[in-house]
Chain A
């Protein structure tokens, strides 16, 4: 009996850590004034929600551009990661360590330095202030995570299934897509979710490289957090989290469909 209490306690604690802040966020979204030591807000307001929905920031456009950008980063980043991880986990070649180190570099360099350096390079290439430039910088920021996730999964799956398919006479592409990829799908899902979250929550890199021309939800949200408008920041944060969760749901659903169709 004693043994089952500890995991339950931990579970309850973890749940509380997620649910309580989320509930607070919901309350703050409607709060005008909440002075200490009141248990509940003194005054509520619809100002923030109407600002979110009907304000000049145009929520639908922001959501569209942020989700499209992050989804592109998720798909491209994961495609690159699947290939890189395959090379890294299953092949031996000269310079392999270099590639491994290279894939980690964006994590090792401080974010501000990374963004400003990247901006200088893109300025010279004529890609600063463009969607392509922002896509590139998000991609580079997300790749270390995607590659690490995929490398572990790829190593676990190995060559076995593909070799078996080859023995039965399948070509290398079909063998990869039909034999290996389905087993890699859980990794693909994690990698896509990770890349999506990373791109979705980028503020500084988007601001510097996109020069304010590429508009995302984070770009509108962060000034309100910095500006100390807690109610407005809360309502934007709720929209931010909610939309990200919805996209994850869609990812899961697609993978589920694909897996069911595949087997």
Chain B
């Protein structure tokens, strides 16, 4: 897969070059920009289903208020697609400035939707994230998902906030030998019917599980970086659905219903209904143990040939009311201090987007000293990362899934 590594590098290199040329705007003098934004309010639309994340955002808001005099209002969001809807509706109604969203926590499909509609803030017609001061320490070289989001170039239109890799959690009191591949998972569910399931697509976590299955059933993973042509979809997805047809009868509730989302799945695991669960964030299970939600015997495992990895970002809509203040917030969110705190499992446990080796020694020590928790795999244990496939794959999978399993 050399191509998928090189391309984002080229893109970011090109953007870096252009960033140095563009100096007429406020981004060139960030301190002046931050001073000018003092006193403004940033409406930060962010998914709010997890109280620990909400608490982290509240902390960041207080820090930003103290450092820059900018107020951050966390607007509670249940589904980021709703925020896309707000921006669309506003611009549709002719409101091209003074919009209600200043900053949004986003990635993948939603980012692409806004990017393609041209609704992302781009001062001087260019990206801004790679012109922020803290971009210098972002792990651009080591983490391709920071510059290519679901195969679409980020182009500096969103600033990286965190990075995650898909993993399974399980109860080690019940399960001693964890599956290492699809066959192992199928074998286990067959022997333990009703103890495994996944959230119903198009839920994000459920879709990610299907993408993992896709990566393991496709003949050549390199194909996933390219768009899926309509006439090839049937053939390319046949092995995936053959596997699902075999798996479903042994799922929770015999696959006749599915949990709605990550939260519902977690609750099923906490209630003891299922024994293996899925997490997008590797630290999720450890956090749940610490909160007494999960049994202390919970551990994590991954498949041998890699797991889906992606990053999440913050973006500024083109009609934001306070885009300059939002830049200041985005820059703070990827600062070493904020990133270190975010990776602390007691706070949130979300992995950093920074190149830790490039940071000050005391911050490096801070990262090294973090106790990841009993159920969190280290980056080495997490194994190889599989990049997100082109969105056309997921669209096709979701359509086929609905036609096949949602017919009632």
- The answer to whether A and B interact is no
